Chain A
Amino acid sequence: MTDELRDRLARLDPMRSDVSVEPVDSPASRKLLESTMSTQVGERRATSMRRLVPAVAAVAVAVGVIGALALNGGGQPLVLNTGVEDPTASCIVFSVEELAKAPVAFEGTVVSSEDGVVTLDVDEWFRGGVSGQVILEAPEGMEALIGGIPFTAGDTYLITAYDGVVNYCGFSGPSTPELRAAFEAAFSG
């Protein structure tokens, strides 16, 4: 079955009109690939692992993860507590500088939200994680009070967390151009 929308989108493809790319066997490509293969895999890996271990340990302590914390990209999800919205609590005034202090920050799309458990597929990590999914869990008995954000399946959210608990007060919410710009600014350093 043909799909009209797909065909129409395909016509926007800037690479569709036989735009040439560098063939894999051209001299320039061979130079790049030879240079790549001359890189010492072991050395790079050892270096990155040395850097990774303390960083991961720091994050694990900082977020106080409830449940499984996966350290590989495709593994188990990071689990965070949604906390509960406390109307008496005072919020820190939102600023990019405050946002930048968050140890955990990501953009994710809700794939399910039920019984106080929200599962998000991570679109982008800004800080503090690598897993492909994050699960937000409401504290026991507080399933109806899943913070101040109505999580809707299919919608995209920007989330920060401190000590394993999602931070509200404007520091997490639906992904709007304004909030995303703030995240980009806060975590670009």
Chain B
Amino acid sequence: MSESSERRDRFEELAALVYEPVQRYLLRRLNPEDAADVLSETMLTLWRRLDDIPSHNRVPWSYGVARRVMANYRRGQRRHLQLVERLEREPPPPPPGAGGESGDTELTAALARLSPSDQELLRLWAWEGLEPRDIAPVLGLTTNAATIRLSRARKKLGEGLKDRGRFRTQEDTTQEGAAG
């Protein structure tokens, strides 16, 4: 088997494993048009770096590549559109049905108040269903660091939900007082 044929076979095997999960990863974070662009660039990066891809953790590793391609893409968009402030603080464009189906606006708001890196950790954990050992290669962390940061992000999110609860209680009390 020639070298190029062997390389193609390895890439086909990788694509069968990661192509659909990477699409889902991107569609959770980008609109479909942007996701298609980033998918194309991500697959090209995987093709070029095929020799560097570890034999285990290939899906999380590919998420990590997609994440970096997406960051560059967003930066390029911002440069092009001159919408730095608006885009950079906005959470990713709400994908279809985000928060809508569950109607959990309280959790959506609490999540949006966290730092972008905490938000991404929590999404990888809950949406991609990754454990810290698999979150680590996506974010370029050690497993230990991913474990600690996930634990802190969960705590911050929990506290954010509690704070919101307290705020609403105070609001309700105030309104009740004003009504009475």
Contact = CB atoms under 8 A, between A and B. Distances in A.
The A contact surface, by secondary structure, is mixed
B15 A33 contact: yes
A121 B121 CA distance: 13
Interface string A27-46: 00100110011010100110
B88 A184 contact: yes
Given A41-B48, A184-B75, A122 B140 contact: yes
Contacts of A156: 115, 117-118
B12 A33 contact: yes
B88 A15 contact: no
Interface in A148-172: 153-154, 156
Contact of B75 (A8, A122, A132, A188): A188
A87 interface: no
A175 B177 CA distance: 39
B53 interface: no
Interface in A54-80: 73-74
Interface residues of B, number: 60
B178 to A, nearest CB: 32
Interface string B2-37: 000001100110011001100110011000000000
Nearest to A183: B88
Contact of A21 (B8, B23, B101): B23
Contacts of B84: 181, 184-185, 188
Contact of B24 (A15, A17, A44, A185): A15
Contacts of B58: none
Contacts of B88: 180-181, 184
B133 to A, nearest CB: 15
Given A74-B140, A123-B117, A21 B79 contact: no
Given A14-B28, A109-B149, A124-B71, A32 B43 contact: yes
Given A175-B115, A184-B88, A189-B79, A22 B11 contact: no
B47 A19 contact: no
A11 interface: yes
Contacts of A74: 140
A179 to B, nearest CB: 11
20 contacts: A12-B98, A12-B126, A13-B126, A21-B20, A22-B20, A23-B20, A24-B15, A24-B20, A33-B15, A39-B48, A41-B48, A107-B117, A111-B149, A121-B139, A154-B149, A180-B89, A181-B84, A181-B88, A184-B88, A187-B75
Given A15-B24, A107-B117, 12 more contacts: A12-B108, A14-B95, A14-B96, A21-B23, A33-B19, A37-B8, A41-B47, A156-B115, A156-B117, A180-B89, A184-B78, A188-B78
For the complex of A and B, 10 pairs with smallest distance between CB atoms: A9-B126, A14-B95, A11-B102, A132-B140, A21-B23, A24-B19, A14-B98, A184-B88, A13-B127, A154-B152
Interface of A: 5-6, 8-17, 19, 21-24, 29, 32-33, 36-37, 39, 41, 44-45, 73-74, 107, 109, 111, 121-124, 132, 153-154, 156, 175, 177, 180-181, 184-185, 187-189
Interface of B: 7-8, 11-12, 15-16, 19-20, 23-24, 27-28, 39-40, 43-44, 47-48, 50, 71, 75, 78-79, 84-85, 88-89, 94-99, 101-102, 104, 107-108, 111, 115-118, 122-123, 125-127, 129, 139-142, 145, 148-149, 152, 154, 157-158
